[in-house]
Amino acid sequence: MSAVVLGSLLAAAPQAAAADVTCSANVYKRTFYKNTSFSGSPVRTDCDSAISESWSGRPASGVPSDNFGVRWSVTRDFGSGGPFTFAASATDGVRVYLDGARKIDLWKNTGNTSRAKSVNLTVPSGKHTLRVDYVNWTGAAKVKYTYTPRTSAAYDRTKPLAPTGVRTSYNTTTRRTTVSWSANKEMDLASYSLYRRPVDSGTWTAVTTTTARSHTDPLVNPDDRTPYYYEVRAKDKAGNTSSGSTDTIVRPLPVVTSLTGTYDKATGKVTLKWPLNTEPQFDHYTVLSNDLVNGSYVWVPLGTTKGNTWTTGPVTADGETRHYRVLVTNDGGTTTYNPAWLQPAALNELWLEIPDGIAPVYAPDLTLGSCASGIQATVSDSTPAPIRDFTGFEIERGEAGTDTWSVVLHQGYNPRLGVATATVCDPLPTDGHTYEYRARSYDAAGNYSPYSEIRAMTMSAG
């Protein structure tokens, strides 16, 4: 198969009417017609990076040297848009369209004579479609079209779009941050500027101005612990500067952003959970518990893990608050700051209330006597007030010879009395039956002490 030159492209020939093709971004799709009405199927479809042609004969196999048409079209993102110049020159007919609206119209048989026209217009931001129609009736076939931004500050006051796709990486060996970003869509871009600021400051510091799309900040982070925000701004050739990109935080030392925990009453164990860090400089976690050691509370390491869960050994269900902390170590060996004291607001610290599973140790005393309508039951406990581990009493009654018990009293006591006590007059019929009573104390968590000795009393028959 031989080859022929098609404008600025080299293509195989001969070729029948081509199927539709897909062109690269911002490259024209070009279609050839063997008529000047662009009717019927195109003879050929290919891609063309620029419209600048001069044909002295047939432009392509299957296309006549006179009375043919060529159409170019492309859809591209113009970024923020702004002022542009559309310029076309051609022998015979050329028309230029923006989103279907005609902007240049030179449509006359001129033979070998070429003429030109340019227009200044504003292209809106975003994606738009350009279309160029060219026809050659007779003679030489020449056509050229360009669209270029007007970069003078007198015309261009449109800010570029803010850069996107900002990515960061931190090297724990050099303790430096590298920032990269996606290419801006502006056609008149002049440069990018990179800025940084510490997370606890509102002041931006310029790092560099560059035409590249990545930069390594020369700042050496002194201890891997200071986080910084980075943002990138774009500047066009007219001197307009974009707003900053979305601020991207760089934490040289990954952090635990939340810590939760649950207590399993069956096993007595605490399970801790936190989000798994995915930073490339992450190495491992250290889990700590705040425990009483030699009379003082200290942070005691429980172990290390690369996962994001940890289950402790059995913890006494004493109703107290347990404190846990998870630290991160990066691949450079730096670990999260670990103060000796508790930090209530720290995201990597958990204060977990352990349910109270310890019942009052001793059974209370129980006495019985008569009252106006039945049997009076009185429960008491002489434990000194400062060390009482119960909050109230419960008295139950059952009929002798049965296993059925019912509660006749469940109430707290007067804490101001030296002896904690409670009493109830239990109304009963004078039926000659014997009734048994037992009592126990309970705490705020609903734990019950052992029962007192059973006391019995008989109601005389009426």
Indicate if 175 and 217 belong to the same structural domain: yes
Q: What is the pLDDT of residue 19?
A: 52
**End residue of a domain, out of 330, 353, 376:** 353
**366-376 mean pLDDT:** 95
In this structure, what token pair is assigned to residue 205? 């510091």
Q: What is the pLDDT of residue 3?
A: 34
The CATH number linked to 54 is: 2.60.120.260
Indicate if 345 and 409 belong to the same structural domain: no
Please name every residue paired with 193 in a beta bridge, in sequence order, or none if there are none.
Answer: 209, 233
Q: Is residue 4 part of a domain?
A: no
Q: How many domains does the chain have?
A: 4
Q: Is residue 2 part of a domain?
A: no
Indicate if 228 and 305 belong to the same structural domain: no
Indicate if 335 and 370 belong to the same structural domain: no
Least confident of 4-13, 423-432, 453-462: 4-13
Q: What is the pLDDT of residue 5?
A: 33
**End residue of a domain, out of 220, 250, 280:** 250
Q: What is the pLDDT of residue 461?
A: 82
Indicate if 21 and 112 belong to the same structural domain: yes
Indicate if 105 and 192 belong to the same structural domain: no
Indicate if 21 and 142 belong to the same structural domain: yes
pLDDT digits (tens, 9 = 90+) for 375-434: 999 999 999 999 999 999 999 999 999 999 999 999 999 999 999 999 999 999 989 999
The CATH number linked to 415 is: 2.60.40.10
Say if residue 79 is exposed, middle or buried (CB neighbours under 10 Å; 0-12, 13-18, 19+): buried
pLDDT, averaged across the chain: 94
User: What is the spatial order of strands in the sheet that 260-264 belongs to?
Assistant: 260-264, 269-273, 309-314
Q: Are strands 93-98 and 127-136 parallel, antiparallel or unpaired?
A: antiparallel
Indicate if 345 and 376 belong to the same structural domain: no
The share of the chain scoring above pLDDT 90, in percent, equals: 92
In this structure, what token pair is assigned to residue 207? 């790092």
* Size (the chain), residues: 462
Res. 9: pLDDT tops 90: no
Q: Is residue 175 part of a domain?
A: yes
Q: What's the whole-model pTM score?
A: 0.72
Q: What is the pLDDT of residue 15?
A: 36
pLDDT digits (tens, 9 = 90+) for 60-101: 999 999 999 999 999 999 999 999 999 999 999 999 999 999
Indicate if 244 and 280 belong to the same structural domain: no
pLDDT digits (tens, 9 = 90+) for 190-201: 999 999 999 999
Indicate if 379 and 453 belong to the same structural domain: yes
d(CA 252, CA 199): 12
Q: What is the pLDDT of residue 20?
A: 78
Q: What is the dihedral of CA 128, 244, 223, 272, to 10 degrees?
A: -70
**End residue of a domain, out of 313, 328, 353:** 353
In this structure, what token pair is assigned to residue 209? 């101005």
Q: What is the pLDDT of residue 161?
A: 97
Domain extent at residue 446: 365-458
pLDDT digits (tens, 9 = 90+) for 160-218: 999 999 999 999 999 999 999 999 999 999 999 999 999 999 999 999 999 999 999 99
Q: Is residue 1 part of a domain?
A: no
Instruction: Residue 352: name the closest of 382, 326, 329 by CA.
Output: 326
Indicate if 33 and 137 belong to the same structural domain: yes
Give the 3-state secondary structure of residue 359.
Answer: coil
